[in-house]
Amino acid sequence: MCILQAALNIALRLYLTDLNNQTKETHQLQNETDKLQRRLSEPEKTKQQDWTFFNTSMYFISTGEKSWSESRQDCRKRGADLVTVNSREEQDFIEKFRRDQRAWIGLTDSETEGAWKWVDGSALTTKFWEHEEPNSNAGNEDCVITGYKSDPVNNWADFPCNDRFVWICEKSIN
Ligand SMILES: [Ca+2]
Ligand SMILES: [Ca+2]
Ligand SMILES: [Ca+2]
């Protein structure tokens, strides 16, 4: 009887120790998970802070200047693309957003001269060209900036794609 009780006691103690260790492990795992989650969400948060919401899109403006293709690459790395300006409302928003800088937009005629296309493949319908543009003035101007000259609305111009400007990315939030 005594032996049986002793054996039961030992078994029970072993079981409880095991349970205790398991609980400790669970706590440790939970702590690790919390730490990882915090580390993951921090860069996420700062990334979000770089974007400005307007209607159904979010917008990013660069601090440095790059060629049109490099600018586009940067936008794509951010899960976006160069901005497509589809309405007067969006042009007015971009006008404030660019803060007096000339900025690349996602419009090009590099495939076929004179056939302007947005980076999403759509054709150009709503246009905000500066009144003497596009003029292919340098002989080979296939990329477009907004903010050329002083008109607050009609201020797009074609420029050589290798010129360097700041750029604006757009990402749909739908
Ligand atoms: Ca757009
Ligand atoms: Ca051109
Ligand atoms: Ca031009």
Answer whether 56's CB lies under 8 Å from 118's CB.
Answer: no
> Does residue 36 sit in the same domain as residue 74?
no
Query: How far apart, in whole angstroms, are the C-alpha atoms of residue 95 and residue 82?
Result: 15
Task: Return the ligand number nearest the Cα of 172.
Answer: 1
> Does residue 92 sit in the same domain as residue 9?
no
Closest to 129 (Cα-Cα) out of 116, 140, 112, 110: 116
Domain count, the chain: 2
Task: Return the ligand number nearest the Cα of 134.
Answer: 3
Whole-number Å distance, alpha carbon 150 to ligand 3 midpoint, is: 15
> Does residue 36 sit in the same domain as residue 73?
no
Whole-number Å distance, alpha carbon 54 to ligand 2 midpoint, is: 30
User: What is the pTM assigned to this prediction?
Assistant: 0.75
Whole-number Å distance, alpha carbon 68 to ligand 2 midpoint, is: 13
Which residues contact residue 11 at a Cβ distance below 8 angstroms, ignoring those fewer than 6 apart? none
Give 74-89 pLDDT, tens digit per residue. Answer: 999 999 999 999 999 9
> Does residue 17 sit in the same domain as residue 67?
no
Give 128-163 pLDDT, tens digit per residue. Answer: 999 999 999 989 999 999 999 999 999 999 999 999
**Residue-level length of the chain:** 174
> Does residue 92 sit in the same domain as residue 19?
no
| Ion ligand 2 contact residues with beta carbon within 5 A | 109, 136, 142
> Does residue 160 sit in the same domain as residue 132?
yes
The fraction of the chain above a pLDDT of 70, given in percent, is 83
At which residue do the structure tokens 């005594």 appear? 2
> Does residue 43 sit in the same domain as residue 70?
no
